[in-house]
Amino acid sequence: MSSNGVRVRVAVCLRDGDRILLAEHVKHGRRHWLLPGGGVEAGETMVGAAVREMLEETGLVVTVGRLVLVCEAIEPAGRHLLNLVFAGTTPPGGTLRVGRDGVLDDVAWHDRDELATIDLHPPIGEAVLACWAEEFEGPVRVLGNVWRPSV
């Protein structure tokens, strides 16, 4: 959803033991990983959007928990993205699959330790690890503008 040029994106931290689910996007010839999620549509709640986006991107039905991270990506060219990250769980079973989004190339479980080194967009790996250390029950982390130029 966009209001005054701000696009709202929701994402979910879905864990399985010491692994986290990430989605790989290919855009303009560049590959990077994100927490699965996407844009909130008009008339849709943030939680509803998170459930829908997880199903579309990963094939998994999730229960969306509490908000854990808030950050923005404000590009010099004017694009403004507000990212809201929720904790999530999924019932046992379900079949992980790659959705049909035009930029989505893969969905895969990654070891917790990889978050410190993987090319994650936005660059919130350390914040996710801090939330994880608190079992996603600590205070909501507000990171401000995390936009970084592509290298």
C-alpha span between 10 and 107 (Å, rounded): 17
User: Is-contact 34 121, C-beta < 8 A?
Assistant: yes
What is the SS3 assignment for 122? Answer: coil
**pTM of the predicted model, to two decimals?**
0.90
The chain-wide mean pLDDT, for the chain, equals 90
Going by pLDDT thresholds of 50, 70 and 90, the confidence category of residue 91 is: confident
Span 119-141, average pLDDT: 94
Residue 3 in this model has a pLDDT that exceeds 60: no
Length of the chain: 151
Tell me: the pLDDT tens digits for 99-111? 776 678 889 999 9
Tell me: the pLDDT tens digits for 25-42? 888 788 889 999 999 999
Q: Which domains does the chain have, with CATH numbers?
A: 2-145 (3.90.79.10)
Going by pLDDT thresholds of 50, 70 and 90, the confidence category of residue 151 is: low
User: Is-contact 34 23, C-beta < 8 A?
Assistant: yes
Q: What pLDDT shows up at residue 93?
A: 67
Span 112-130, average pLDDT: 92
Span 112-117, average pLDDT: 91
Q: Please report which helix (H) or strand (E) contains residue 25, including its range.
A: strand 19-27
Tell me: the pLDDT tens digits for 35-90? 999 999 999 999 999 999 999 999 999 999 999 999 999 988 888 999 999 999 98
Q: What pLDDT shows up at residue 53?
A: 93
With a pLDDT cut of 70, the percent of the chain lying above it is: 93
C-alpha span between 13 and 89 (Å, rounded): 8
Q: What pLDDT shows up at residue 60?
A: 92
Q: Please report which helix (H) or strand (E) contains residue 87, including its range.
A: strand 80-89
